[in-house]
Each structure stands twice: as structure tokens, then as C-alpha cells.
Structure 1
Amino acid sequence: MAAEDLEWERSKISNQDTNMLKRLGLMKKEDAIRFPSEESYPKPPMEYRVSFVDHLIRGLSAPIHDFLRGLLFVYGIQLHQLTPNSILHISIFITLCECFLGIPPNWALWKRIFCLRRNGSHNVTYNIGGVVICVRTDVDYFDIKFPDSVQGWRKKWLYIHEESANSIEHNIIPFDGSARIQRRRSWDAEASEEEKKATEALMSRIHQLQNTRGKELSGVQITAYFLRIRVQPLQARKNPLWTYSGENDANRISSDLSSKDLEKLIRRISRLGKDPIPSSCRVEPYSSTNPLPENHPTMTSLPPLPEDGEVEEQAIVAEDTQGSSIPESEVAGSHKSAASHEKEIEKPVSRRNPFLLLFPQGTKGKGMMPRILAPLRLKKLFLLIRRQLMILILNPSSALMTRKKYQLLTWLLGRARHLGSSSTLLLDDPMIKELLRIGSQFIGYREYANRAEEKLAEANERADALAQKLEQSEAARKKAELAASEAKAEADEAKAKAAGVEELQKKLEDATSALNEHKAAQASREEGILKRLKTQSRRTFTQTNQDFDLTNPVDDPLLDALSYLELHGSEIREGVSNANAGLSALFPYFFPKKEEPSTFLNLAKMFNSSEDLGLKMRQENMKVAVENTVALVADSRQSVDWTKVGDTEQIEQSRWKSLIKAAKPNTKKILAYLGIKPASTPSSSRPEV
């Protein structure tokens, strides 16, 4: 059993994880997932593949997407060798392309953003999760905010069923736990100049999505979006995500998650801390309700698939050293730190190297010297070695001799010791030994000189840049001094105006306060008027069957009358109060034997009688006067024939006037006797009979 096989152990999937898979719709079909029983090493049944719980909750589902299948083929890796955060990287990239760029996942764009690295710690390299997808250090990409640790995910492995029965084009690579991870040139494959030019607009759009103020798009928003719409990005789908049609979309694998389950899932696969879960993306994704613009380019670009044949990028390069691996804890954190631990990888030796032409057919690239060579080939080999060393001695600066060629020469000489006594004599030749020693020194000195020249050129460039920055800083200093003097003058002028500004500000505040109070009083008054209008409208409607037009009060006679009444209300109320007081004062004189009414309306009705109240009062007063006169006559003890007095027809008018004239000087005495206070001026009114 290989050393990597020891990493596998018995699968331990909790009931909580099983319930989560059910709610996600990944176990809707009875045979979609099978859980291992007692085995401690994966043995998937026919048509099943090995996967992990943390892969499934990050967007993986069978049959897998062509883009993921192409990545596995080009990079020469298996599905179980990717970490959960690498799976999430691919899910976010596919969602970004289809929902926010409006294109299928683009292989050229992927190569501009991502590369692969080994996953390991100080003395351990992994097979399960031994490959990490990293963002290139020179690329400005979304901050995904991966969790600090995804511990225990390797223990939660299971089997998923491949659903493509009629074709194997979507199938996952069959599980092979004994296969070792080998680094390939494709891990660092970069986009060509033509691909960079074709994807420049896409990179600009990504930067715009990241940096548009108020509409910034983040990796957490993209993750929450594909979890919310219930579509697995890494699953082969009938339609792209830019045609998503809502609850009835054919690509949905389950109904909407509850807000509690959604938040729990996002916090599990993302590092948010106490930040709230985004309820939606700040940029509206493409969908059936937000279709792609007309003539929108699709820019299809997929990685090579197995049916397309082998690709050169799969060529295996030298094994990684321990320093080139990335600790898993660092990979789980910021995506920027991962690539910084990688060292430069040397390219394989060119097939045009003249030394490799000496190998027999079938021995190229195997890294070992054949044990038996024809004498002619051996002679040519040493002649070639000597010629190359002489070139080095005669022309040390020649670029034809590099360190790699020199190392190859010494390696060939070392392997040639196994070829027989004739080769040993050649190797013991003093000239060959001296050439080797001098060659080693020359190469070392030349490389040191080249590095020194490069450092000197770099230092000169930095000095020129510093001198230029110094000139710029001096100009900036003078400009700053001028700006400071101007600012000081403006400050003095502003200070002189400060008092006036403060006074104006205070007046403005007082005016604003008075205006607010007036507005509040006016609003209160208008509210009261509106309330009274509504009340009066109901009353008027019951009496006149006509309602106020409160929405359009133009030319409304009732509303105009009420407005007029509102304007003169105070005057009317004061007049009514005065009328009430006056009528109350007159009431005892006009109605001496009646009780005064309690309301002004009833009081006014009594004074609005049909009979002449003034005439009636004068008649009553005349009656009292006659009675008082009779009493006066009786008190004077004079005999009067009242029958003649009552017969007014027998009274002579001249005599009546003479009697009045004779009595007039004694009027005040008579009135005083009767208890009546005379007026200050004699009345000239004509007495009535």
C-alpha cells in the first residue's frame, strides 16, 4: 500500500450532515448518494465515484460540469485531491462567468487568474486534498474570505452516482487511491498574448464589479447567490445560469432553504465573523428577468477534454521540494498568501539539446544513461564534451554554455564511468579534469558577474526613479508652500467675516425657528379646519344631500361658505356673545313673569315673536301708570266718577290736555311718590291710550 493510502480512514458522517444533504436536495433520488459501511478505504460500487460532504455543499453534484472535467484532465489530478476551498473557487468562478459576465466559464480567463500548488505542511504532503487552487499574486480578484480551518473534512467521504448512462463524456475520472500527485507544467499555465487580449474586457468588468462604489460585488455575495437559487454550479446543466427563471427552473435541485439553514451554511463555508449574511447581490445577476443585452458575445473557451486528445500542458516537471508546498491552514485563509510560498519551477530540458541526440532510440526522457553504447557514439560523446569545454575556456562570456549544460556534461561523465576501462582512462586525463575545474570556476564567476550587472542596473534604475521622485517632491513642496500661504490669506479673510457670518447664522436660525413654529401652527390650524370640514360635511350631507368636495374644492359653494365662516368666526362669536348679554338684560322687562331660557337660540326666538314687543311693553307700562294714578287719586281722597273716567268718548280733549298741563309741574313729586326715578330729560314722546 502506498504511503498516501494511509491517509484514508473510516468515514464518519454525522446525522447533522446527512440532514443538511437532504435539505439541499442532494439525496432526492434514492441512489444518488451511498454512505460507506465499515470500510476504511474507498471501494466505490459500479457507476459511483468518491466525493466529500464539504465538496457537495460547495456546489458539486453529478454529472459534473464540462469545465471541471476539463480542469481535472488538464491538471492531471483526481477529484479527491482538491481541497473544499478549491471546489468553492471553481463554483464561484462559474457563477461569476454565467451570472455577472454573461459567458460560459472561460478557460483563458481562468488561466489569467488561477494556478495550482501542492498542499502540505512541514514534513507532510497530502494525497487527499493535496492540490490547492490559488489566485495569482499579480491578479486583483475577489476576497473570498475562506474559513480559517476546514478540519475533519477528509473523514466525511461518500459515494455519488454518475447519472449519465448513455454517454461517459461527463463522467468523473475513476477513483485511483494509489495514484501519486505529480506536478505538471499545466499547473502554472498562463494565458497567451492572444488570450490576454481577448479577455482584457472581462478582466476590466471584474474590476468594475469589485470597485464600483455602492455596488461592490464580493465572493460571499456570489456564494450566497448560488446557494439561494438552489443550483449547483459544478453540475452539468441543461441551461446556463443567465437563463435562470426562478422557482420553476429546470436546474434547481430543491426548494428554497430556510433563512436559518442558509445562514448556517454560508457561515460554515465562509469566514464572516459577526458580519450579516448578504440578502442579495449589489449587482443584479443575469437571468430571465434581467436578460443578456442584444449581440452579447459568449466567448466560449473550455479546457481540453479527454476526447480531444492529450495536451502538452500535462507534461510532468521536476518534483516539488518541501519548501514549495503550502500549509493547509494558510491555504484556508487569504487567497493572496498561498501563491507567495511557491518558488520558480524550472522548465524541462529542450528536446533540441544536442546531448540528447546521443541517446539511442527509446531511451529519451527516462533520466538515465544506457549501460552499453557503441564505441563510435562514446567517442563522439567525449569529443563533444571536450569541444564544449574548450568553448567555455576560450569564450567565458559565451551564452552557449549554461549551468544546465554544464551540469548535464558532468552528469554524463559521471555516468560514463560505468562504460568500461576506455572511458575511465579518458576521465582520468589531466586535461579533462583541469577543463572541468576551470569550467566550473568560469561558470560560477560569470553567473556572479551577471547577477552583479543585473543588481547594478536595477540599482541605477532605482536611483533614477528616486531622483525623479525627489524632483517631483521638491515641486510638490513649493506648490504646497504656495497653497499654504494662499490658504492662510483665505483663513484671515474668513476670520474677519466670521463675526458677520455668526450673526447672520443666528438670525437665520431665529428665522428658521419662527418659520417652523408658524408652519407648525398653520399645520395644526389646517388640521383642525380639515377635521371641522369633515364633520360639517357629514352634517351638511344629512341636511342638503350635498357633500363637500374635499379633493377638488374649486367652485364649491359649501366649502366657500364654510371658509368665509372660518375667516369671520371670531367676529361672529363675539357678536353672538354680545347679543346674548343684551337680550338677557332686556328679558325681565319684556317678559317679567317668565323664566329666561338657557340657550341663546331659544332666547332669540322669544324676542323674534310675531307681536310687537315694544308696543306690548309700552302698553304694560301704561297699565301700570293708570293703576298708579288710580292709587294716587285714592290716596288723595278725592271723589271721582270712574264711570265717566272709563268712558273715553266723553273726555274732552282740551280738558284732558289742560289737566296734563296742570299736572306736569308736579310730575316729579308724583313719580317720587310712586317710587319711580325720573329721567334726566323730559320725555317728548306722545302718550298712548
Structure 2
Amino acid sequence: MPPAMEQYGGDWDGSNVHEDHVEFLRKTRRLPGAGKVEVRLAPAKEITPAPREGKRVVFRSHFLRGIGLPVSAFFRFWLEFYQLQPHHLTPNAVVLLSAFVTLCEGYLGVHPTLELWGEFFQSKMSTRTQGVPAQSGAFIAMRRVAADNPFPIITLIQSVKLWQKSYFYVKNVAPQGDYVNLPAYVAGPPAGRRPQWSYRAVTLTPAGTAAVARVRAMTQSEGLSGSDLLAPFVTRRVLPLQSRPHLICQMSGQLDPSRMCTKDMPHDEVSFMVNYLANCKLSAEWQFGKEPYSRANPPPTVCSPCLFFFSQFCHRVPLADSD
């Protein structure tokens, strides 16, 4: 069942983000430097976001759950395919997206795709009153409940309070390149539930079939659990939804350029952070059920990389079943 608070979405009530929050996001490489991305806080009396031209609305809550700027090509494409804005996403939707990318990159050794997302997840629209879309958090992502869905179950936080108040504004100011990579801001909720929200491939490609079979093997025989999809990006200090030089399974130690920080996080702090992201109830002495792969220990080949990329380009997303 989706979290109770997210079932009915939320309204705007200003922002509580201050300069210390922004400084922390810059220090942890969630936000690029001021020479590339300009930040503006919401005015004290502002209730609803009103970005100036060229600015995007982002959320501190989302940055703490796996988003970083510039956002990854997959996340940008995912937003455009579902016709969503960052303010349409609940914090739990961001957690599931980050876990999904970690599964693809850290365990399968492949780039995330809409085909795999649609195989594992479905969606619904959150309403503030019956039939009226929520102003913020209108898109609810959920693991498909089918018995043959091998994606590990993640028990989400029941209520992420006041996340709508964590918004602020960013604008790309880099002389070259886009260090934000988000679609132009469009105010308001989605204009109803889009047909593509029901996307699921009628028939999986050979690459997709191989990937799903590998996930099933890891969950049934190799100990892969839901917390294993959150702990890797916490321990490796990487942001799944940020543009990075390489996949999570290709990371190589404390100096890896994908990392937010060169220092290792203490074991008990990892469990605290994972429990902050989801209701995993990890103890301070937690252990991986299955550790993610790395450059020193690469994942087994799910299928030929050429076949995988070819199948994703040839597989047309309009071929879908309804939920």
C-alpha cells in the first residue's frame, strides 16, 4: 500500500530552505559550484513557487535521496517520458528510482531503461481531494505486486512530512554545458493520469528478459534484499540520479570521480542513513545480503552489451499494456 500521506498529496506552504542547506549540498557535490549553477532561495513570504525565467524548482528532500545536479540522462528522459516535473515526485518515488538505478548499475552492470522500470513498477495519481490532483507529489510510484516480480521489496517511510517546504531555485550559468539538465518548469499538477503512466512492455526484449532472470536469481539464491539497493549508494557516496563518469559497478575506491566525498562513512552512520531513506530497520551491525559489484569485482555479463543497447533503441515504448 502507498504511504498514507502520499495518497492525498500536498499543497504548497512556502520554503524552509536556508543558506546552510545550500552550502551543505554544494560541499557534498549534490550541487555544482556557483560558477556553474546559480541558487536562489524562495522569498520569506512566498507560498507557491514562482521561478524567474530560466530557473528550475528543486527540492532539498530529493537531493538527500539520490538526486544530484546535473541529473542523469536516464532521469531526464524518465521525466520527459512520463511528462513529470520534480515537484510531482514524492520523496518515496525518488527513493525507488535511486534503488532501481542501483540495481541496474550496481548489480546488473547495465544502464537503467524504461523497459526494466515498467517491468518492476507501476504508478497512480495522488489526489488532495477525490479526483483532484495534488499540487505537489501527484505521481506515486509502486512496486508491482505480481508474485513473479523479482524486484526486492522496500518498505517505504509511511510519512515524509513537510517535504514540499524544501524547495528552492537553480539556474544553469555555466559558459558551456548544462549543469542542471532538468526540463523547463511548468506550474501545477499533472493534467490527469497520462496514458504512459501505465507503460509496460508487451514483450520484453532479449536483454530485458536476461536482466529480469538475473534479478530473480540474485533475490532467490544470492541474498539480494531491498536494503541492499539503498546501502550501496550510501556507502559508496554516490548519487544514482546524477550524471556520472561511469556505472556504480565500475567504481574503484575513495578517489573515484563519481563519489561525493573521499571519506568512508562509518558503519553505524550507513545504517542510520538507510533507515532515513526507508523503513529498513537496519541495526548498527548490519551486513549486506549481497554486496554490489565494483571495478575489482565486475558483475557477470547479463547479455552482450551490443545486444543490450541495440534492443533498447529498437524497443519502442508505446508498445504497452494497461495496468
Q: Could you state the TM-score of these two structures normalised by the residue count of structure 1?
A: 0.40
Of 112, 121, 133, 1:114 maps to 121
Higher relative contact order (CA 8 A, sep 6+): 2
Q: Can you give the 5+ residue segments of structure 2 that lack an aligned partner in the other structure?
A: 1-9
Tell me which amino acid in the other structure corresponds to 1:185. Answer: P
User: Is the CA contact (8 Å cut-off) linking 2:57 and 2:167 kept in structure 1?
Assistant: yes
Residue pair 1:77, 1:181 contacting (<8 A) in 2 also: no
- Structure-2 residue corresponding to 1:155: 165
What is the aligned-residue identity percentage? 25
Q: CA deviation at 1:143?
A: 1.1
**What is the count of residue pairs matched by the alignment?**
302
Query: Which secondary structure does the structure 2 equivalent of 1:7 belong to?
Result: coil
Question: Matched residue of 1:209: which SS?
Answer: helix
Shift of 1:55: 0.6
Q: 1:36 aligns with which of 16, 39, 42?
A: 42
Where 2:276 maps in the other structure, the secondary structure is: helix
Is the 1:74–1:311 contact (alpha carbons within 8 Å) kept by the matching residues of 2?
no
The residue aligned with 1:10 is: 14
Displacement of 1:28 in angstroms is 6.7
Q: Map 1:620-635 onto structure 2 (within 5 A).
A: none
Give the direction of change, closer, same or farther, for the CA distance of 1:74–1:89 in structure 2 (3 Å limit). Answer: same
Between structure 1 and structure 2, the one with the greater Rg is 1
Confirm or deny: 8 A CA contact 2:105 2:111 kept in the other structure: yes
Alignment of 1:425-436 (within 5 A): none
Contact preservation (8 Å) 2:205, 2:311: no
Query: 2:171 & 2:73 partners in 1: Cα distance?
Result: 17
| Number of the residue aligned with 2:220 | 211
C-alpha displacement of 1:294? 7.1
> Could you say what the CA RMSD is over the residues aligned between the two structures, in angstroms?
3.3
**1:514-663 equivalences in 2 (<5 Å):** none
Q: Give the aligned partner of residue 279 of structure 2.
A: 271
The Cα shift of 1:50 comes to 0.9
Choose between structure 1 and 2: higher helix proportion: 1
Matches within 5 A, 1:42-57: 42-45=49-52, 47-57=54-64
Residue 44 to residue 246, structure 1, CA distance change in 2 (3 Å)? farther
Change (3 A) 1:277 1:313: farther
Residue 30 of structure 2 corresponds to: 26
Asked if the contact 1:184/1:313 (under 8 Å) is kept, the reply is: no
Out of 191, 201, 214, the position equivalent to 1:181 is 191
CA-to-partner distance for each residue in 1:150-196, whole Å, 9 max, x for gaps? 11111111223447653559721111114643322211122132x25
CA 1:182–1:37: 2 relative to 1, 3 Å: same
**1:284 Cα shift?**
3.4
Task: State the alpha-carbon separation in 1 of the partners of residues 311 and 168 from structure 2.
Answer: 29
Separation in structure 2 between the aligned mates of residue 131 and residue 284 of structure 1, nearest angstrom = 31
241, 244, 249: which is aligned to 2:248? Answer: 241
Where does 1:417-428 land on structure 2 (aligned, <5 Å)?
none
Which letter does structure 1 place at the counterpart of 2:187?
G
In the alignment, structure 1 residue 105 sits paired with structure 2 residue 109? no
Q: What is the rounded CA distance, in whole Å, between the counterparts of 1:7 and 1:302 in structure 2?
A: 41
- The answer to whether the Cα contact below 8 Å between 2:39 and 2:169 also exists between their aligned partners in 1 is yes
Alignment of 1:204-603 (within 5 A): 204-212=213-221, 215-255=222-262, 256-259=264-267, 261-273=269-281, 275-277=282-284, 279-293=286-300, 297-298=304-305, 299-300=308-309
Structure 1: gaps spanning 5 or more residues? 1-5, 305-309, 315-343, 346-689
| Per-residue deviation, residues 174-231 of structure 1 (Å, max 9, x unmatched) | 11114643322211122132x254422211211222122xx41122122111011111
TM-score of the superposition, structure 2-length normalised?
0.80
Check the 8 A contact 1:83/1:131 in 2, yes or no: yes
